Structure formats: C-alpha cells, structure tokens
Amino acid sequence: MSHYLCGMSKEIVVSGIRSTGHLHLGNYFGAIQNYIKMQEGYDCYFFVADYHSLTTHPDPKDLKQNVFRVVAENIASGLDPEKVALYAQSDVPEIPELYLMLNMMAYVGELEKVPTFKEKVRSQPENVNAGLLTYPVLMAADILIHRAVKVPVGKDQEQHLEMARNFAHRFNTRYGEFFPEPQVFRFNADAVKIMSLDGVGKMSKSENVNATIYLSDDDDTIKKKIMKAKTDAGPTEPNAEMPDYIQNLFLLMQLTSKPETTDTFRNAFNSCNIRYGDMKKQLAEDMAAFVRPIREHASELQKDETKIRAILKAGAEKARASASITIEGARKRIGINYYIPNA
C-alpha cells in the first residue's frame, strides 16, 4: 500500500543518530534493529545529528565522511530510505529556526543543571560553548519540528526528552495548544543490551576498541576480538549461575548463531563440560559471517556518493514538507505574520 495513503494516520516517530564514531553491535542490536521494526508501522523521521556534533568542533574535512558513513551503515543494516525520511539535520533549516524560538522558552538555570552538560564542563573545561548548554533545546527542536509523539532513545537521553516536553508545554501554555508532548518509545521493555567484551560496562559506552565489535570490522579483526573476550576457568557445579560476561557471549551467540549451536554450548555449560576456546571460535565464525554482508554493503554504498546524496536530498524534502507546516504554525502563534507570502 502506498506510504502516502496511510501516512496521515500513523504516529510520528523522530530519532537522531550521532555522526561521530563507527556503529557497533551495541548500536545495531540496541537501536538500529528497533528503527527497522518501527519503519513498518510509524511515520519515521530519522536524521544524522550533524549540528549537534559541531559542539566539539570536528575537522571540516571529516564532517561529510562521518555523515555519509553513518547513513551507509544504517541503510546496510536494513533502514529503508523509501520507508522513512532519512536526512541530515543541517539540510532542514526549519530546525534551527524552531531552536531559536524554543531558546526563548528555556531557562539558563535549568540548562546548567543538566547532568550531560555538567559532565562536559568537567571533561572539557576549555570548550564550554553555548551550543553545549543549549544542546537539549536543539534536540527538542529536532523532535517538535515534526510534532512527534514517540522518540526511541536510551536511558541517557531521557532527561533531554523530558526537557523537550517542558518546552512544548511552555509554548502551548503561552501561545495555545500546538505541540504534542513527546514520549519515550520503548519498543520492548527488555531491549537487548550488549556488554563490552572485556566485561566492563555496555558496549555502547566502552572506550575499549578491542572489546567493541564495529560493523566496519573485517573478519580477522572480529575473530581476534572475540578470541580475546573475557572468560574464566568455567563452572564448577552443574547448572551454575552464569557470570555476566559469559551471559554476554551466549547472548551474542543467540543473536548470530544457529539455535542448535547455542543449545549445544548451553548444555555444555550446564554440565560443566564447556570449553570457552571452542565456543569463542564458533562465535567468531558466526559473528564474522553475520557482520560481513553489512560491512560490504555499507562500504559499497559509501563509495557511491551520488547515491547517498540522492538519498539525503529525498530525505530532506520529506522532512522539510513536515517541518515547514510546523514553522508556519509556530510563527503564526507567536505573532510573526507580517505579510502573506507570494501575495
């Protein structure tokens, strides 16, 4: 059925994708797979948050490559630019316009109290710019520009989303009901959480590149990383409880190997016969086979700049069609309506 026929009745979902860093398995199973499920039933606006990345002054030479890589990796993972609006934030000028308007609803005191801001003040005291302070306002503009109702984000972004609701509410109180208050979208309550292979924290937070599997890693790199994953001497009694780093290996196996394979090793664990070396060898094989087509598709796409540009252009057009309606409504409510365009 045509996307446009049922588009009106679908709920609107917005999510921003960071343009810094390579995508890894934590992103893939934690976020991208949810995007892929959502693209079937919702009106999705997914964008690369390139303006947000400017807070750390990336080298101008790197910016385009970062954006193109993220786009290519998401498409290679299954995101379908025919089904969703996939665009770069900076291609939608209505976003900074709404950001300006929302800045008038945001108080410096509340922005200074945001934990992510305080963390930046601690970690980069030499660059505490106003863009960092107003990061949550730009994020609110990203969401409210499409009058979205659902936003798939991790725990670390929930406070930003709460601020988006506050800004929407303040706008509505001052100028009349206009913005829905966006809610966190939890696709399933027990979303997949992948731990770092060294057993220290989540893969998404890990700074240890050797304990993180990237979608751009080649077969050998994947195998080396898996073979080095943390294990121990094995269980000493039948049906023992699994340490979290072993559970994590089983989770990765469940996500990438055949069910029989996982069962075999689970039984071996339960009967104290497990050989982690063998398990990791099998997992390394299966993981390499799983990542290979994604990596190859992404790298092929990344070389086709014409295609990526066309995808981003089409995405920006879809996003601007929705964004311009919001901006027109917001201007009118604020009282910015001095002349009739094209009259």
339, burial (CB in 10 Å: exposed 0-12, middle 13-18, buried 19+): exposed
Interface residue with ligand TRP among 25, 38, 44, 49 (CB under 6 A) is 49
In the three-class reduction of DSSP (H, G, I as helix; E, B as strand; rest coil), residue 168 is classed as helix
Please give the positions annotated as active site. 120, 202, 205
Q: Which CB sits closer to ligand TRP, 48 or 253?
A: 48
Q: Say if residues 90 and 60 touch (Cβ distance below 8 Å).
A: no
Give the C-alpha distances (Å, rounded to integers) separating 163 from 148, 181, 194.
14, 10, 28
Q: Is 168 in the site for ligand TRP (CB under 6 A)?
A: no
Place of tokens 């290519």: 72
For strand 183-184 and strand 85-88, is the pairing parallel, antiparallel, or unpaired? unpaired
For 47, 220, 273, the CA distances from 16, given in Å and listed in that order, are 5, 32, 45
User: Which of these, 91, 12, 3, 139, lies nearest to 308 by C-alpha position?
Assistant: 91
Of the candidate spans 67-75, 149-157, 303-311, 332-340, the one that interacts with ligand TRP by CB under 6 A turns out to be 149-157
Q: Does 204 bind ligand TRP (CB under 6 A)?
A: no
Examine residue 142 and tell whether it contacts ligand TRP (CB under 6 A): yes
Among 95, 111, 139, 327, binds ligand TRP (CB under 6 A): 139
Residue 126: CB atoms within 10 Å? 4
Give the HSE-up count for residue 202: Cα atoms under 13 Å, Cβ half-sphere.
Answer: 13
- 52 counts as binding ligand TRP under rule CB under 6 A: yes
* C-beta closer to ligand TRP: residue 35 or 269: 35
Query: Interface with ligand TRP includes 145 (CB under 6 A)?
Result: no
Q: Nearest approach, Cβ of 123 to ligand TRP (angstroms)?
A: 15
# residues contacting ligand TRP (CB under 6 A): 12
Residue whose CB is less far from ligand TRP, 44 or 151: 151
Closest CA to 166 of 208, 124, 109: 109
Report, in Å, the least distance between residue 143 CB and ligand TRP: 5
Measured from the CB atom, the residue of 203 and 283 that comes closer to ligand TRP is 203
Report the distance separating Cα 229 and Cα 284, nearest Å.
Answer: 10
- The binder of ligand TRP chosen from 32, 143, 197, 279 (CB under 6 A): 143
Least Cβ distance, residue 142 to ligand TRP (angstroms)? 4
Least separation, in Å, of the C-beta of 322 and ligand TRP?
14
How many other C-beta atoms can be found within 10 angstroms of the C-beta atom of residue 268?
A: 17
State which of positions 9-28 bind ligand TRP (CB under 6 A): 14-16, 18
What is the closest distance, in whole angstroms, from the C-beta atom of residue 151 to ligand TRP in the complex?
5
The footprint of ligand TRP (CB under 6 A) covers: 14-16, 18, 49, 52, 139, 142-143, 151, 153, 157
